[in-house]
């Protein structure tokens, strides 16, 4: 399985695009592992950073309520 971002040559991940970020969050609002997302290490770190940034700004929930 190849990385989604490497395949599509996507350079930037935006924390404001919450609908896209939700693809990488489990039902219990945890960030999915690399094994589940199929991302390379570089993009997994970037996606985790952007999810955390979105949570900090209140765009994504930290819990699933």
Q: pTM score, two decimals?
A: 0.91
Task: Give the CATH number of the domain where residue 52 resides.
Answer: 4.10.640.10
Residue 36 lies in a domain: yes
CB 54 within 8 A of CB 20: no
Q: How far apart are CA 4 and CA 30, in angstroms?
A: 19
Query: pLDDT value at position 1?
Result: 64
Residue 30 lies in a domain: yes
Tokens 């399985």 sit at which residue?
1
Residue 63 lies in a domain: no
Mean pLDDT, rounded, for 8-28: 94
Give percent of the chain above pLDDT 70. Answer: 97
Overall number of domains in the chain: 1
Residue 62 lies in a domain: no
Mean pLDDT, rounded, for 59-65: 84
Residue 65 lies in a domain: no
Query: pLDDT value at position 62?
Result: 86
Residue 20 lies in a domain: yes
Give percent of the chain above pLDDT 90. Answer: 88
Q: With 90 as the cut, is the pLDDT of residue 17 above it?
A: yes
Domain assignment of residue 26, given as a range: 4-56
């Amino acid at each position: 399985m190849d990385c989604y971002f490497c395949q599509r040559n996507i350079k930037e991940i935006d924390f404001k695009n919450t609908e896209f970020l939700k693809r990488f969050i489990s039902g219990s609002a945890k960030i999915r592992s690399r094994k589940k997302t199929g991302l390379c290490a570089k993009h997994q770190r970037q996606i985790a950073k952007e999810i955390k940034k979105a949570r900090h700004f209140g765009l994504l929930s930290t819990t699933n309520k």
